[in-house]
Amino acid sequence: MTEYDKDLRSIQEARDLAGRAFEAWKQWSTASQDQVDRVCSAMAAAALSASERLGIMAQEETGYGVSEHKHLKNIFASKNVWESIKDLKTVGVVGHDPDKRIYKIAWPVGVVAALTPSTNPTSTVMFKILVAVKARDAIVIAPHPAAAKCSYETARIMAQAAEEHGAPPGLISCMQHVSLPGTQALMGHKYVALILATGGTPMVRAAHSMGKPAYGVGPGNVPVYVDRSADLEKAARYIVASKAFDCSTICATEQAVVADRPIASRLASLMEQEGAYFTDSAQTERLRSLLFHPDSSMNVATVGKPADDLAAMAGFEIPKNTRILVTRLEKTGKEEPLSREKLTTVLGWYEEEGWEAGCERCIALIQFGGRGHSLIIHATNQDVIMAFGLEKPVFRIAVNTMGTLGAIGLTTGVEPSMTLGAGGVGGSITGDNITAHHLFNIKRLAYELSAAPAAAMLPGKPKARPSAREIEKAVRDAVEEILNTR
């Protein structure tokens, strides 16, 4: 078969799955709340049971990260996500304001086209299926080609559980013949009502260009500021563990430490005890060349790799049991490639005098590649914490926790999600952690509160159009008036 034949197969598959999803949705849109919750509970349980196997499968297929960490992400995306939405009403009357005499009625969106990444494939598929079906939507997964098999298997397991508990066939599906033309055909299909895209910038831009509602979430460039008031032992432990978690494949992972200068040396020492290795200038230059191509694009061969693999690829040795590589940097922006998002175990390091300067450095990092996404702060000074919360152009500021797990809602109270909105400043339509309530609309049944104003009830008299004779006379009078004034 030629490459062109593969594209044709992908396009046809997209059309077929969208058509089946639409027919299934017409049935599912009338499901009761009990039916919805029974199906979603069964899917969550099935995904949880397979979470370890799917984590191994994802790591083996993509070559990214750590299977045990992917297992944890799968537990989060099945168990924790379901627990966060299981009591959410998504059918019928979901709210009533007796004072305003308004009833809020849930209305499903329809067929969702869900684009998923290679970095967190199985967990993102689990999450998106749960929140879509909970909202009474149908969903078609368009996986990243590098994670097509594990994504399909995840969707298959959940679809089987759903159908065994009463969901119509075709409600949940995943493309197997994956190509760019096929994914574009899916997004543009007449039956697709909404696009839910998680991945790189080109994918998100494509989703937003389809002329349809889209939740598009791209990369982050998350700084972590460590203030002089911080619990340094905890900060060091959390930063290293978070950066090493699944080899930094979650978009909310810390990308650069901004250390308050009075505590910088102590923090660096504590991080070394946790498995951080600070590279020298020559090693840092080798990492610059390794991680990014001359056109500033990321070298995908380095994505999701352990520190020892990266050091070997860069041609230098590191101590045994090193978990992350830390590069001391001075500049931010295009002239410093390592100030970009690094989806691997390399962490930038900056030192600034005082929280105000630290604040400015964090903003520079955010503006360079993570507008609207996330920021982490370690501090006990509440004034400093609140200043960061008020001033940073991001929509998740996680305090004294791991960025990786805090931003997605595992260790904080934000909505558990694998799709993190970046708001208007980041090119998204929301800054929320996307969940089920974003995937259905609200109808409002509104009763009269006050009688219509009397003026609105008057019949009024339409102004009659002038006759031809009246128009002629008006013109003559105007001409005469002009002549008389000369």
CA distances from 359 to 229, 346, 371, 387, 399 (A): 15, 22, 14, 9, 15
CA gap 91, 262 in Å, rounded: 55
Asked if 236 contacts 271 with a C-beta cutoff of 8 angstroms, the reply is yes
User: Of all residues in the chain, what percent are helix, strand and coil, respectively (each to 5)?
Assistant: 50, 20, 35
The CB-based long-range contact list for 67-75 (8 Å cut-off, 24+ gap) reads 69/245, 69/246, 70/120, 70/122, 70/123, 70/246, 73/120, 73/122, 73/123, 73/246, 73/250, 73/418, 74/47, 74/48, 74/50, 74/122, 74/123, 74/126, 75/48, 75/51
CA gap 486, 480 in Å, rounded: 10
Q: Which residues contact 480 (CB under 8 A, 6 or more apart)?
A: none
Is residue 413 helix, strand or coil?
A: coil
Is 247 assigned a catalytic role?
no
CA gap 56, 71 in Å, rounded: 7
DSSP 8-state assignment for residue 310: H
Query: Which residues are paired to 373 by β-bridges?
Result: none
Tokens, residue 223: 């700084």
Kindly calculate the radius of gyration of the chain based on its CA atoms and give it in whole angstroms.
Answer: 28
CA gap 264, 271 in Å, rounded: 10
CA gap 412, 474 in Å, rounded: 76
Q: Which of 40, 251, 359, 362 is catalytic?
A: 251
Is residue 485 helix, strand or coil?
A: coil
**Minimal CA–CA distance to 350: which of 363, 362, 335?**
362
DSSP string, 167-233: PPTTSEEE-SS--HHHHHHHHH-TTEEEEEEES-HHHHHHHHTTSS-EEEE----EEEEE-TTS-HH
The CA angle 78-137-21, to the nearest 5 degrees, is 105
CA gap 69, 120 in Å, rounded: 10
Element (H, E) at 128: helix 121-134
**Minimal CA–CA distance to 21: which of 159, 182, 209?**
159
CA gap 115, 65 in Å, rounded: 20
Task: Show which residues are catalytic.
Answer: 251
